Structure 1
Amino acid sequence: MPSLRFEDVRALLPAAFSLALVNYAGSVLTGRLYADRFRYKLDSNQEFLGQAAANLANAFSQGFPVTGSDSRTAVNVTMGGRTQLVGVLAAGVVLVFALFLTPLLRDLPMVTLGAIVFVAAVYLLQVRAIVDLWRVRHVEAVLACVTMLGVLVLGILQGILVAVALALADLIRRAARPHDAVLGEREGVPGYHDIERSENSETVPGLVIYRFDAPLFFANARHLREQARALVASAETPVRWFVIDTSAVFDMDVTAAEGLEKLRREFEEADVVLGIAEARAPLRALLRRTGLLERLGPENMHPTVGVAVRRFLMDASARPPLAGEPPAPPHLH
């Protein structure tokens, strides 16, 4: 058993964590690359368990930390290796050299090993993939290039951490300002569509149907409220109903629920009804637990956008128009 004290564990833990992170990340990324190339399935969880078991055994046998090697994998593929037998044969050759043939390697320049690794790394570069990323989405191509430069300049661990931080920042940025749309009808086309993307789309006077295409959480709750206020304030006719199409909202946190409640109160003071359409079961459960479902009222929870429009038209036809508001259309959509 290794002789370890708590002080040793505390001193070794940062380096051990760094090794584990770099080893696992490098192994899985390389595995995915070749899994895609040769069309086989890679189980990341099994890879994790395999590395954990191997390194646990090494802990009790004074071995080196082990992982899948990027350079050796590339060399094996370049030489035509396709099965696990390559690893068995390589291990046998290494054992023979370690026991009997080390004098042959004594005068071999270190640059030889560097050249082998360098040539293998060239086969791992995928410039075409970065070009494809740039064509599809500029941000992801920039992230790929920054990650590569971070590894080269700062080191492997620091480069990976920079990549993770940038990816999370980009995710939060997109979630904080998600795609949204005001919906309207288009003659001859069923359903309700983004009025900015669909030509000749028409909205119902006094009704705003607003679609929010992301989960609702603390980072974008204020954005939804600001957009809702702006749409009501800029409407050509006074807004009676404001309906949020939540078909793309599959989750919501407490901060977002509080934001919706604030919006409901603001609209109530302005005589605007806040409604929700196409809420999925998980969202309805969250609304029920926060009490917002009861405060909104069952009559303002609409199964579809179409139902919300029909209910609004029935409500509008049953009461006189506001000042500056045209009379309700005589037909029901």
Structure 2
Amino acid sequence: MSTAIKTGLITGIIALAEGIAVGRSFAMFKNYHIDGNKEMIAIGTMNIFGSLTSCYLTTGPFSRSAVNYNAGCKTAASNIVMSIAVMLTLLFLTPLFHYTPLVVLSAIIVSAMLGLIDYQAAIHLWKIDKFDFLVCFSAYIGVVFGSVEIGLVLAVAISVLRVLLFIARPRTFVLGNIPNSSAYRNVEHYPNAHHVPGILILEIDAPIYFANASYLRERITRWINEEEEKIKGAGSTSLQYVIVDMTAVANIDTSGISMLEEFKKTVDRKGLQLVLVNPGSEVTKKLNKSKFLDEIGHKWVYVTVEEAVGVCSSFMLHTQKANPMKDESEG
């Protein structure tokens, strides 16, 4: 029983994946839309009724679909004609095909498949995104030298690996102010964006999970150290505030919250003030429940970077004005 369930699950998943993948491939050629949900319902219903009559597992095989496509078939009625032809062949023409070499049948399939290879699309992928080309090429190699199932597994595995890499190594940016505007953008993309004296503005462009929490802490700490060294070398206003733009942080887990707590301690040891900008509703709920917002103070959470910079600049200006008065009173 367990073997039957295991086999059924594996073959069902492969059949669905193959059928939907083949459907989308041909949809690109004919420029029409494929609904994955409807495809799954159709394949599932077809196999339920087929199982009542001892049919083989039914899906949308790539080779037969390619032959059908190259034969000029336009509608689903072609399947009815094909099924009748197969039935008549099995009943009356089987002896005639008994001695037909398999290489002849293979040649029919190969000739149909060659027309489906889009070299220009592969070149386009190579020019735009090398990783996408790797996924495409891996699927191609898997199908050619293995089977459709192997090709699908390779493509899905590499795609999942890519997602994990993006999650584990999220992008972080240093933001600067665009001259004559209130916009703050990545200083690497906008060379004319200038740093705000005494303030380091960082942006996290991904959810914060256990997989990337350590990396983010190390990366942000490195940004702070580099900024402090740069300020010492230039002899400008010392770093006093670290603003973290969390607009793109859609979610955070307990490891991410622990990372923020450790980062807060690091910032405190350096005598800096941590400021958060626009954490999402889900992130804010979790930060509230963990009491992290109470630790940094709700007054240090702002909606926009512009607002946060304005408040921090006002505090620095007030401090600079207060210190000379204090020195004079002491003198």
Q: Is the 8 A contact 2:18 2:148 kept in 1?
A: no
Considering fraction of residues, name the structure with more helix. Answer: 2
Tell me which residue corresponds to 2:187.
195
SS of 1:274's equivalent in the other structure is: strand
Please state if 1:61 is matched with 2:60: no
Task: Give the AA of the match of 2:174.
Answer: V
Matched, 1:263 2:263: yes
Deviation of 1:13 (Å)? 4.1
Report the equivalent of 2:114. 122
CA contact (8 A) 1:238 1:322 kept: no
Q: Deviations 1:46-66 (Å, cap 9, x if unpaired)?
A: 211221222222333211110
1:81 and 1:321 map into 2 onto residues whose CA distance is 82
Percent of pairs identical after alignment?
25
Is 1:301 aligned with 2:311?
no
SS in 2 for 1:314: helix
Equivalent pairs counted in the alignment come to 315
Return the letter of the residue paired with 1:134. Answer: W
Instruction: Give per-residue Cα distances to partners, 1:61-94, cap 9 Å, x unaligned.
Output: 2111100121222222222211111112111222
Unaligned runs of 5+ in 1: 1-5, 324-333
> What letter matches 1:317 in structure 2?
L
Distance 1:239 1:321, change over 3 A: farther
TM-score by length of 2: 0.87
Structure 2: which 5+ runs fail to align? 232-236, 324-331
Confirm or deny that 1:162 pairs with 2:182: no
Deviation at 1:187, TM superposition (A): 1.4
Label 1:240 to 1:190 Cα distance change in 2 as closer, same or farther (>3 A).
closer
Instruction: Give matches, 1:130-279, under 5 Å.
Output: 130-235=122-227, 236=231, 237-279=237-279
Residue 154 of structure 1, CA deviation = 4.8
Structure 1 runs, 4 residues or longer, greater than 6 Å off: none
In 2, Cα distance between the equivalents of 1:154 and 1:253?
40
Q: Give the Cα–Cα distance (whole angstroms) in 2 for the partners of residues 158 and 97 of structure 1.
A: 31
Matched residue, 2:67: 75
Q: Mean alpha-carbon deviation: is it higher for 117-126 or for 158-167?
A: 158-167
Q: Deviation of residue 313 (structure 1)?
A: 0.8
Secondary structure at the counterpart of residue 183 of structure 2: strand
Q: Specify whether residues 50 and 113 from structure 1 end up closer, same or farther in structure 2 by C-alpha distance, changes over 3 A only.
A: same
Instruction: Provide the TM-score with structure 1 as the length reference.
Output: 0.87
Structure 1 residues 61, 291: CA separation in 2 closer, same or farther (over 3 Å shift)? farther
1:85 pairs with 2:81: no
* Paired position in structure 2 for 1:326: none
Aligned to 2:328: none
